[in-house]
Structures are given as structure tokens and as C-alpha cells.
Structure 1
Amino acid sequence: MEGDEVRITSEYLEEISLSNKTDVSCDLRSARSDFCEIKDFAQIIGHSSILNYHSPCTNSFLQAHKSFKLKPHPRKHDKIALAHVKEISIEPVSFNQTPPHCTVMHIAPAIVFSTGGYTGNMFHDFTDVLIPLFITSFPFRGQVHFLVGEMQPRWIKKYRPLLEQLTQYEIINLNKVRRGLCYSHIIVGLQFHKEMSIEPKKTGNKYSMVDFAQIMRKSFGLERENITMLGIHNGNKPRLLIISRKKTRSFTNVKEVIKMATNLGYQVLVQEPNSRSKLREFARIVNSCDVLMGVHGAGLTNLVFLPANAVVIQIVPLGGLEKLSMEYFGIPALDMNLKYLQYNISIEESTLTEKYPKDHVVFKDPSSIRSKGWAALRSTYLVNQNVKLDVTRFSYTLLEALKHLHHYQ
């Protein structure tokens, strides 16, 4: 946009030099993400991953740190996730040094972030990138540039409807930029609050996951804002969506579950989201439903498309995963004004009983398996466990969901 650009002249550079007001603030204390904000004048050279800023000698942070490096991805201490995320080198230049090699400076700010790490897994798409990006960019109301490291065209295409709600500008592939890009305000890294969610207090109570849910519905053209729209108050049966999994943590008796739920009065749909699913179409299916249920896993991330006051039922497999499950999907659901029900399976409902005797440590002491590390936990409880729901026991959870839905009739 032309209104975003200012021609860089010698007079303009002299004015900046005389102002001596470059403001640099960084938060490197977070356990999940590093975040730096530079105001006044900064240049980034994408392919070399160098960011230069004009440095006044009065800035205490700059005096202490001079130059420093960070990876703009919210998995700060995860070496596997960050292995292919390029480091950004942030280096000061004094006002009397050679000016940046660009003729135009953008007035609208820029956010530098990476779509590397575990992106491609829907849960990580949202918890590591999309929600932190929303947190960081929302205050600018679209007047912000996105400079993306490790940019994956298919990923950008998949989430373009949302990205276009967050920025009015062309998304830039940072690793392919050969020239210097100059900005009056640049942010390196994304703000991370908690898994799959937002802490309103950290935004000054200006926005929350409710706002994120609204922008998701707007982005993907979803009709239902809440469950009272086109729902059971019109005489329609409540729609229950079962998120199916084929390889791991799958339901082994899904037909029995469908029969039981149908007898309770539900219209039941079974869907398996995968990389081939068209996101907009799947989002519309989810939005048309009143209840979403599934075993703990990335498929539950689709709760972001549900109408307000819908119900999320998370089936938690064995392994002491109750707290983790609540953190990953329970709290986000509640933060989005959804009803959340957590169903912790019994030993009899786990297919691990087909592999181990009931007095095995796998059942008696899951913490001893977890103490061996993530790989052991994942292999035992996430990769090699399926679920055979006790339809009588589980029916009470579906009845509780029905009771909640009828409250909104």
C-alpha cells in the first residue's frame, strides 16, 4: 500500500539521527518464546537473517546486550522443533554509520515469525503459530506486515482466510528476500500466553479467545455464532460429531457408540480430519454441530470452529494424561465459551488390557512410565492404545451434554 511507505531521503535520515529516540524492548524471560520490539528505524535482510537497528547510547537494554540472537518461534527450549528454524541476528548500528540499503520505509509495523517447528500438525499450527500470531498482531487491526521464516506455501494457503483477517498486506517469504526491508516498527517473535489460548489480563482485557473464535468464524464464512442459530430450538436433533482416528487412539466400537447416541436423540456424524481435508469444508461441518467428541489428539483442535455454548467432550486415554488433556483442550474450550466435559476412560475401556495383565505397571503406576520421558509415554499411551468405550458408562456424559443443550432451547 502506497500510504504505508515513506521515501528515505538524506533529510529524513538526519531527522531520525537528531531524534535519537530508538526504543528497543525485549522479553527473554518467557519459558516458551523470546520477543523483541524495535521502534523508530530497523532494517531486516531476510536471506541473511540480520536485523539492524539504529542504536542510541542511552538505551540501557542495548548497553547491556549490544547484539543478540533469537529464533522467532514459540518453542524456545525444544531443540527438535527449532532445529530448522533460522536464527535472527539483531545488531545495532550507530546513527553515523552507513544508512540501510533501501529507499522506502514502511510505516505499518512488521512481525517476524517462523512457520517451522511442528507445523503441519493442526494442534501445533494453532498453539505454536496462529494463536500467538493473533495475540501479537490483533492490536494493529490489519495494519501490519508478516515476514515469515521457513514459509511453507501449502500452510499459508490452508490458513490464508485467517491470515487475511490479520494483515492487509502481502505475506513475505523472509528467506527469499535479497534486499533490505525497512520499517519504523518491527517485532521479532510471537507472544505466547498458554496452550491453545489467550490470557485476557496480558492484553489489558482488550481481547480473548472469544475474539479469536469470532475471527475464525468470520474467516471461514461460518454461519453459526452460537448453538441457538439453526439448532435444536427449531426442532432439529442435536448434532454430534465424532472425531475419528484410524491409526492411534481410535474407537474400536464406534458403531455401538453411534447406536447409543442415536437412541438418546442425537444426529451422529463421524469424520476423520486429515491433511487432505479441505479446511473450509471441514470447518463448516464442525460449525453445524452442537457437540464435538474425540480421544485426546490434534483432531480436537477443530473446536475452534464450534458455535458458542456448544459442547466439547474429550475422551482421555490411560496414562495419567488428565492434566495435560485439560491444559491442551479443556481450558481453551472454556475460554471460548464452550461447555467442556472430560471423560477419563477406565482400565476396561483401554485396549492395553489386550497387551498387559491388569497388575502391570502400565496400569498401576503410569508415573513410572512418564518418568522415562516423552518418548516412553508417547509409545505406551498415545501410539499403542485404542479405546473401546463402555457405552452405558459413556451415555451419562452424552446425557449431560444434552441437558446443557436443552438449557439454550
Structure 2
Amino acid sequence: MIVARSFSPMEQKKLGCAAFFLAFFIIAVTLSSIFKPYLGPLPTLSDVYEIEGDVRIHGSTSTIFISSPPQQINSTTTKQFWSTKPYPRKEDTVAMAKVTAFKIQYATAVSSPPQCDQIFTSPAVVFSAGGYAGNHYHAFVDVLVPLFSTSHHFNRDVVFLVTNDLSGYNSSSWTSKYKSILDQLSKHDIYKTDTENQVLCFSRIVVGLIKTPREFAVVDPRYSTNNNSSTRDFNKMVRSAYSLKRESLSEDIRIFRQPRPRMLIIRRRRDRHLSNGKETVEMARSLGFDVVMKPVVWNVSSVARFVNSFDVLVGVHGAGLTNMVFLPENAVVIQIVPFGLENLARSCFGKPAEGMNFRYLEYKGSLNESSLVGKYSDGAKVYADPAAIYRKGFDGFRSVYLDNQDINLDLGRFKGTLLKALELLRV
């Protein structure tokens, strides 16, 4: 009131309205973050539900029962169940169409909860391996990193309940493909809810995964938005999962024994192909690198060990660069950015590489290096304003700049980027 006296009546009214909406927003965010049965209905816009009490899940019907005495339920409440999809990319309708919805409902005297087949003393996390998780990049960004953020503070004493366990390479399931990482986060068996006919009972369950503020970012739910854990912690966990020998480039004595630092150039087989890859390899070797150029699409454990043996990782923007998570710290990551993809490249791999304590370099391809030249009329927006194409919708943007573009490097210009990488390795 003392502060308010220094404002006019109209200004005081505006301040009051602002304070009301701020308070309403804080309350809404608080309620949407944590739910306990006695508080009433779950907010429908929540990304993650944390439920404590007598919680029972029947996987094959994708139903979660909350057992509450009738007097704890508001008799005026007509809605007794809520639906949620346990995948963080809520705004993407294409991804969410591939994710199973779970129904969370109260058990009442009329509709009693099913009997428990198994009772657990450990908490559980329910998540989906659907959406885009079949893609190596999205497996990490949409599931593994959010799962780390959601569950690592349980110190492995947590049960994972997974739906949409998609097949990966060699017809293995998604959970089999990333089992080494999942074992670092949980010491218990994984339950696949799609085929689980038993009723599993818990006293605490988290439905969904924390949506991180940016790609590969780690959030610790115990400390709100103040990260007490980092992306580097996630990388350490990954290196431990695959028993990788090289923790940090500076600690690896082999770099001092061998005069030629090792460079891996990821070869893309389809879109965003490096047209003069052979010439690029020859130039890099002439500068003093021991170069390997090949695609990396086989068993994750083999890929992890293979990538960890290199000092420099080079790749055109794409999912293959996700394998930088297996590099030792202080390694050099060079992202070749095709024309029009500057903003996407920075958010997907540039900032994450820096957060993982890699030395990051970016080579921005010009229009003259792009296969887009000649495909459209002179002065077309595709050339003049890629941002305008993006604003019209990501599908159209992707069809032009991601799915329909190769790059032919200006070797004279790219040479400067490789020389900078050599300088960084000597620091």
C-alpha cells in the first residue's frame, strides 16, 4: 500500500490486475507440476504428473487408478478421469499421434480399483518411446535426456514403465537398443505397459518426462529451474554406460604419443550429402589429421566405442552428430551447416556441444556451395529469405533445406576451419 500511494488511481488499478494474473499464473504452474490425490482434479495442461498415494496401473489398458476414499473427492466434480501422453514434445501433433494416451482416474465406491498383482516399494516413471524416438537424435533429445532429468535423483531406485517400445536396428526393441543407458538410471527390470496384463501398484509414480528448456539440456526437478546437474553429468553417465576409456582429451596420453589427431567425418547416405567428401578427406590428411570417413549406423555400443577413439568429429547437420555424446571432453566438434539451416543447426548441436564441454566450430555453407542453386528461379524466397519459408511451416521448410539439399564444400574456405581445429587441439 505504501508503494501504491506513489501511483495514480489508474496506475494502481493496472498494478492490481497485473498482480492478480501473476498470482494466478504461479498457482497454476505449481498445481500443474505436482499432484497428490487429496488435492482434487489433475490440471489438464500438465506435461508431467507426480502422484502419491495408492496408485495402480494396468498397462494393457493404459489406465492408472488413484485409490481415494469417497469423502476426499469433491461430489460436485463431474470429471473423474484425465488423459495424458507421456512424451515431452506436446506441441508436435505428428509426434504425439504415435504416443499412447494414459487415462488417470479416481477409484470410487462404485468403481473400485483392481487388485494388485505386484506391489513395489520403489517409485515409478511412465514414459513413451514413441513419437520420433526411433530417430537417433530424437531418442536422446526427446527421451533419454528428459528421462535423465526426471529420474536420476532417484539414484537408480526407480521402476521404468515404457509404452510404444519401438523397434530399432536389427529388429531389436527401443529399450534393448539403449539398455546400457537405461541400466545406469534404474537397477530394476523395465516393464513394457503395452503387453503388461498385471496390475502394478506403487506409492509414488511420475507420468511423463520433464521437457527440457533446450536441446540436450538437463534439468534437476529438485532445484526448480536452477540446474544443479548439467549436460556434462549426462555425458559422464553415457561414457560410464558403455565403459568408454577416454573421459577427456587432455587426460588422454595417446594424443601426445601420436602426431596426427584422429578425425571422424560422418558420411550421410541420402539428404545433405557431402558431394566432395573424398577431396575433403584428402585435404584434411594433408593438414596432419588421421581421417576416417564413414556412416555410423550400427550397434550403439560399437558406435560409442568407435566415436570415443576420435579427437575431432565432423558432420553435415543431421542426426549423425548426435554421436558427439560419446566423445571425450575437450574434443572438437565441427558442424557443416547447409544454406538456410543456421538457426536450426545452432540450437540442435551448437549450444549442446558447448554444454558438453566440447570445442565447437561451425562452418556455414554459402548458397554457392548448395545443390539448391538452379532448382528455383532467380530471386526466389528459397534463396532470399529462408526464415520466411520456415514461418510458413516446418514441413515445407524441411522439404527444401533438409530433404532436398546437398553441399559441395569450398575447400579453400573449409581449410581455415580445419586449421582452427588443429589450434584448439594444441591448447
Measured on the aligned residues, the alpha-carbon RMSD in Å equals: 2.5
Q: State how 1:233-244 maps to structure 2 within 5 Å.
A: 233-244=256-267
Cα deviation digits, residues 73-124 of structure 1 (max 9, x gap): 1121222112232111111125897454115421101111111111221011
Letter in 1 for 2:247: E
Q: Is the 8 A contact 1:149 1:174 kept in 2?
A: yes
1:306 CA drift (Å): 0.8
Of the three residues 296, 302, 316, the one matched with 1:281 is 302
Note if 1:47 corresponds to 2:60: yes
User: Which secondary structure state, in structure 1, belongs to the residue aligned with residue 275 of structure 2?
Assistant: coil
Structure 2 distance, partners of 1:224, 1:63, is 58
Q: State how 1:212-251 maps to structure 2 within 5 Å.
A: 212-228=234-250, 229-251=252-274
- Give the structure 1 partner of residue 136 of structure 2: 122
Say how many residue pairs are matched.
381
Of the three residues 296, 305, 313, the one matched with 2:326 is 305
Q: State how 1:24-39 maps to structure 2 within 5 Å.
A: 34-39=47-52
1:170 CA drift (Å): 1.0
User: Which secondary structure state, in structure 1, belongs to the residue aligned with residue 301 of structure 2?
Assistant: helix
Deviation larger for 395-404 or 121-130: 395-404
Q: Is the 8 A contact 2:218 2:227 kept in 1?
A: no
Q: State how 1:24-173 maps to structure 2 within 5 Å.
A: 34-55=47-68, 66-94=80-108, 98=112, 100-102=114-116, 104-152=118-166, 153-173=172-192
Q: Is the 8 A contact 1:22 1:41 kept in 2?
A: no
Q: What TM-score comes out, normalization by structure 2 length? A: 0.83
1:385 CA drift (Å): 0.7
Structure 2 distance, partners of 1:203, 1:223, is 33
1:134/1:343 CA distance change after superposition, 3 Å: same
1:378 CA drift (Å): 1.2
User: Which secondary structure state, in structure 1, belongs to the residue aligned with residue 372 of structure 2?
Assistant: helix
- Give the structure 1 partner of residue 11 of structure 2: none
1:355 CA drift (Å): 2.6
How many percent of aligned residue pairs carry the same amino acid? 41
- Give the structure 2 partner of residue 326 of structure 1: 346
Structure 2 distance, partners of 1:175, 1:296, is 35
Structure 1 distance, partners of 2:294, 2:283, is 18
Note if 1:256 corresponds to 2:279: yes
User: Which secondary structure state, in structure 2, belongs to the residue aligned with residue 251 of structure 1?
Assistant: coil
Deviation larger for 354-363 or 103-112: 354-363
Letter in 1 for 2:237: I
Q: Is the 8 A contact 1:26 1:37 kept in 2?
A: no
Structure 2 distance, partners of 1:118, 1:344, is 27
Note if 1:403 corresponds to 2:423: yes
Q: What TM-score comes out, normalization by structure 1 length? A: 0.86
1:29 CA drift (Å): 5.3
Structure 2 distance, partners of 1:203, 1:393, is 41
Structure 2 distance, partners of 1:207, 1:95, is 44
Of the three residues 169, 174, 179, the one matched with 2:193 is 174
Structure 1 distance, partners of 2:389, 2:225, is 39
User: Which secondary structure state, in structure 2, belongs to the residue aligned with residue 353 of structure 1?
Assistant: coil
User: Which secondary structure state, in structure 2, belongs to the residue aligned with residue 351 of structure 1?
Assistant: coil
Gaps of 5+ in 1: 1-19
Structure 1 distance, partners of 2:418, 2:260, is 14
1:168 CA drift (Å): 0.9
